[in-house]
């Protein structure tokens, strides 16, 4: 039930945020044409001020709702770069702790291969794994039944309307082909658009401040690792000239790959922490359980590193 409340607060917050950005853009245009004593400029500034105040009220309400949330207090609050706004975005997605970690990865679109599929009823969909191995069925919706009903308008006139009930298709997958992770026109995507946007917003701090967070360091190390590969030139870095000197600059591909790596580890830690705090069992990520990678860091150890980095930051401010 809490995710429903958080989703309502988040939707309101996002709507107000868009309104504030639009108001600030209008204000910039007004500032260029009017002096500070002009009435239109003063009104625009008052609008922005009021919207910001409302934004803070919604943020405070979200904090009150999250006050008793175990994963917010014991994990999210202790990660550098995660604040009340990003926590609200994450927890309003309604992540199901009963599902597997791989399901979370799919929800955020963090899988290396997509499967372009077609069901027996002609629906075209993208799935995160081979449906012939997993037994997955069509995730699209189809019309279950239709019934007629009467609708009365404000004048008392009656109109016959049709009410349609939808249900999950569940059709058998008859065609499936592996493909690189990208969209295909005409295919329904399995990931959540808001989740993908949230992943980008969460990792933004780590990209801009790689030395101030454990996950920022993971991002930085992964990008450097990709840039040092034998086949990295033009693929993961480009040579650019700056002040008559040649410099290696990471490509967008390298940055996005490193972002995904950092966010996947963050999700794995959040998943592990959440289940442990609730007294539930936890399976290691695929790379560590099946491929026997041995460099996995426990979420508690990750938070200790975060605390150390936070302490260093505080000492610099004092100095």
Q: Convert the pLDDT of each residue in 99-110 to its tens digit.
A: 888 889 989 989
In this prediction, residues 152-166 reach a mean pLDDT of: 80
Is pLDDT above 90 for 33? Answer: no
Strands (DSSP E) contained in 212-311 are: 237-242, 245-250
In this prediction, residues 28-48 reach a mean pLDDT of: 79
Structural domain total, the chain: 2
Q: For residue 1, what pLDDT is reported?
A: 42
116-139: per-residue pLDDT in tens?
999 999 999 999 889 999 898 998
Q: Same domain for 119 and 218? A: no
* Residues constituting the chain: 319
Q: Same domain for 198 and 173? A: no
- Categorize the per-residue pLDDT at 318 as very low, low, confident or very high, splitting at 50, 70 and 90: very low
Domain-embedded: residue 150: yes
Is pLDDT above 90 for 222? Answer: yes
Q: Same domain for 162 and 126? A: yes
Which range of 30-34, 76-80, 134-138 scores highest in mean pLDDT? It is 76-80
- Quote the domain boundaries for residue 264: 193-318
Q: For residue 221, what pLDDT is reported?
A: 94
Q: Same domain for 222 and 289? A: yes
Domain-embedded: residue 294: yes
Domain-embedded: residue 184: no
Q: Same domain for 163 and 132? A: yes
Domain-embedded: residue 59: no
Q: Same domain for 160 and 260? A: no
Is pLDDT above 80 for 150? Answer: no
Domain-embedded: residue 8: no
271-291: per-residue pLDDT in tens?
999 999 999 887 766 666 655
Q: Same domain for 197 and 165? A: no
Is pLDDT above 80 for 292? Answer: no
Domain-embedded: residue 260: yes
Q: For residue 291, what pLDDT is reported?
A: 56
Candidate from 39-43, 191-195, 198-202 with smallest mean pLDDT: 39-43
Q: Same domain for 158 and 202? A: no
249-263: per-residue pLDDT in tens?
999 999 999 999 999
Is pLDDT above 70 for 29? Answer: yes
């Amino acid at each position: 039930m809490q995710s429903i409340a958080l989703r309502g607060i988040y939707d309101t917050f996002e709507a107000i945020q868009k309104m504030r950005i639009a108001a600030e853009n209008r204000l910039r245009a007004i500032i260029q044409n009017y002096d500070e004593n002009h009435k239109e400029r003063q009104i625009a500034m008052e609008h922005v001020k009021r919207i910001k105040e409302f934004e803070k009220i919604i943020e405070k309400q979200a904090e009150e709702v999250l006050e008793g949330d175990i994963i917010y207090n014991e994990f999210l609050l202790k990660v550098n770069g995660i604040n009340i706004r990003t926590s609200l975005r994450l927890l309003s997605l309604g992540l199901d702790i009963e599902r597997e970690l791989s399901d979370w990865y799919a929800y955020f679109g963090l899988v290396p291969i997509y499967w372009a599929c077609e069901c027996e009823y002609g629906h075209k969909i993208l799935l995160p794994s081979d449906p012939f191995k997993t037994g997955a069925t069509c995730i699209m919706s189809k019309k279950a039944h239709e019934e007629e009903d009467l609708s009365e308008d404000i004048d008392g006139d009656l109109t016959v309307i049709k009410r349609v009930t939808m249900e999950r298709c569940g059709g058998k997958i008859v065609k499936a082909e592996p493909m690189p992770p990208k969209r295909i026109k005409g295919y329904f995507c399995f990931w959540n658009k808001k989740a993908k946007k949230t992943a980008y917003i969460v990792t933004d701090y780590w990209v801009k401040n790689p030395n101030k967070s454990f996950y920022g360091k993971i991002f930085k190390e992964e990008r450097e690792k990709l840039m040092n590969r034998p086949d990295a030139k033009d693929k993961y870095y480009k040579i650019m000239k700056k002040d008559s000197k040649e410099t290696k600059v990471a490509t967008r591909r390298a940055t996005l790959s490193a972002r995904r790596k950092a966010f996947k580890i963050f999700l794995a830690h959040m998943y592990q922490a959440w289940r442990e705090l609730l007294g539930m069992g936890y399976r290691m990520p695929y790379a560590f359980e099946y491929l026997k990678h041995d460099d996995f860091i426990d979420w508690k150890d990750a938070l200790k590193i975060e605390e150390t980095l936070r302490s260093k930051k505080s000492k610099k401010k004092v100095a």
